Structure 1
Amino acid sequence: MHQGYQLTSGLPRIAYESHGQGAPVVFVHGVGGNLDNWRDQLEHFGRDHRAVALDLRGYGHSDDIPGALDFHDFAADVLAVMDTLGLARAPLVGLSMGGLVIQSVYARAPERVSALVLAACRPADAPVAHGEQFARDRLAPLESERPREALADSLLPKLMGPATAPDVVARLRDSLLRLRLDQYRQIVPVRTQLPPYLALADIRVPTLVLGGRQDQLAPVEQMQAIARAIAGSELDIFEDCGHFLNIEQAPAFNARLRAFLDAVAERAPSA
């Protein structure tokens, strides 16, 4: 676990890490994660970019959720970190629920988003499929005597591809064991019951859609549908990979993301 995080000054305080100098890229984690899920990307892109990852409210080192949660509060967390760092505009990379969050940022403040990378997520223009089952799978284990361990034991087989290295499984297990359960209990129903809020056809920035061939949560067909709905988007499917593309196949993920960011930068108008 790294301790190099900082906090935004507003409330709730949002924890973030910023690595390196150069063109920015912002990473947003999923429902069972935290900014450490992006450790490989922070180290890789921090060499020549300003690589930023944050803990959404209720996660990691960020403050608790203040009162009732609106899903779009997470978009405010991303924008608060960008404001703190003076980032007027940046590419946003989101995995799983993080993909929903960055779609929410785009819906709220499209002028702040220069590109989107939607990894292993669902579309913002449709209600969640099998929402009751999703919530049950995540909340039922919390009633056991060792809730974090039960949740990890239940979810990890569904999240990982069969070829996932043991050290990667251990990292993701650690992420689940660090969940703040009172916060998690608030977040899961809100994420599950989220109504449509953005027409994918209205997205007007370069978009990369990424999926894992063996992902049980965001199947290939879902990612293909997202790519079809966004004009000019690019689609890549990682073979022998489950839900956590950026950790299970970090080198390949980083290479594909770098190629995309380079292409976006080349197409950007000169200041």
Structure 2
Amino acid sequence: MSLACSDGTSIYYERHGSGPAILFVHGSGGHHAAWWQQVAALRDEFTVVTVDLRGFGNSDSSMPEFDGQDFPGDIVAVLDREDLTDVMLVGQSIGSVAALRAGLLRPERVGSVVLGHSLGGISHPELKELAAADRAEAVKLPVIDRLLTKEFQRERADLTFLFQQMGTFNVAKMADLRNLDAGGPSLEDIREAGVTVAFLAGEKDAVLSVETVTRAHELLSGSHLEIVTGAPHSMYWEVPDQYNAVIAHLRRNLTAPKEAA
């Protein structure tokens, strides 16, 4: 058990394995243990760090309310506590927003950020319009159908149940994370920071379409795009082998411009 201090708040995290560092940032229904299939698969080659944002998992949840603007600082606290450099931050869904902001706060520690099923809160009028249209379609579906395919739910009722139980360990909820989008970084902010960005999308993502993610990639020069065939929004859970292979590939190959200079 390891704790970092983020402006007086205790942030729980775990560090596994050795090698180039990957830090995973969970989404609204997750916490550090949601990455069990990633830790086991990646720790032999990489240093794998998992973290609980405040209000989630084992981190301090005693505050009366949560401000999503504090979450990037929670990630930074772990980076500083472990003195990590050249880290690849990997966000899941809205956790990607916190990951990107943390990368921009500590570009000397973060070489790349993988935005999993997310635009990372990038402030751009066209992208906001596209994402809003995707969300308008997503809310027509039951929450579980937005995150996992119906086929997986039928065939793996056990893992579907466990997936749903993950969120019961959290005090903070989706509404607490949404505030992260306020005052998001511009495309120029990202370029100036010198942090490489990769967009990771699932072909069957019911929350954020491949077309929207592809457009973000086109607008952010120098970014990378990975699309996984048949994968849903919670790709890391439903198709871990494919997800882990992409993450390992990105960690081996992404290099920030500031390092290549």
Counterpart in the other structure of 1:149: none
Q: Distance in 2 between matches of 1:236 and 1:193?
A: 24
- Structure 2 residue aligned with 1:32: 29
Q: 1:44-59 residue pairs with structure 2 within 5 A?
A: 44-59=41-56
Q: Which has the higher contact order (CA 8 A, sep 6+)?
A: 2
Q: Distance in 2 between matches of 1:40 and 1:190?
A: 24
Structure 2 match to 1:188 = 175
Which residue identity lines up with residue 217 of structure 2 in the other structure? A
Work out the CA distance in 1 between the residues paired with 2:107 and 2:20.
18
Shift of 1:93: 0.3
Question: Match for residue 221 of structure 2?
Answer: 231
Q: What is residue 179 of structure 1 aligned with on the other side? A: 170
* Alignment partner, residue 96 of structure 2: 99
Instruction: Give the alignment's TM-score, normalised by structure 2.
Output: 0.82
Task: Indicate the RMSD between aligned Cα atoms, in angstroms.
Answer: 2.9
The normalised TM-score by structure 1 is 0.80
SS at match of 2:9: coil
**Structure 1 residues 250 and 76 mapped into 2: Cα distance closer, same or farther (>3 Å)?**
same
Change in Cα spacing, 1:193 to 1:79, as seen in structure 2 (3 Å) is closer
Q: Provide the C-alpha distance between the structure 1 equivalents of 2:177 and 2:251, rounded to a whole number of angstroms.
A: 32
Note the C-alpha offset of 1:8: 2.1
Matched, 1:169 2:160: yes
Q: Which runs of 5+ in 2 are unaligned?
A: none
* Distance of aligned partners of 1:190 and 1:81 in 2 relative to their CA distance in 1, 3 Å threshold: closer
Please give the secondary structure, in 2, of the residue aligned with 1:87. coil
Find the aligned partners of 1:201 and 1:163 in 2 and give their Cα distance.
Answer: 41
What is the distance in 2 between the residues matched to 1:217 and 1:85? 34
What does 1:1-271 align with in structure 2 at a 5 Å threshold? 5-9=1-5, 11-64=8-61, 66=63, 68-124=65-121, 125-126=123-124, 129=132, 154-164=142-152, 165-166=155-156, 167-180=158-171, 183-184=172-173, 188=175, 191=178, 194-203=181-190, 204-264=194-254, 269=259
CA contact (8 A) 2:55 2:61 kept: yes
For structure 1, the residue ranges without an aligned partner over 5 or more in a row are 138-152
Letter of the 1:174 counterpart: Q
1:221-252 CA distance string (max 9 Å, x none): 22112211221222122222211111111111
Q: Could you tell me the percent identity over the aligned residues?
A: 26
Residue aligned with 1:111, SS: coil
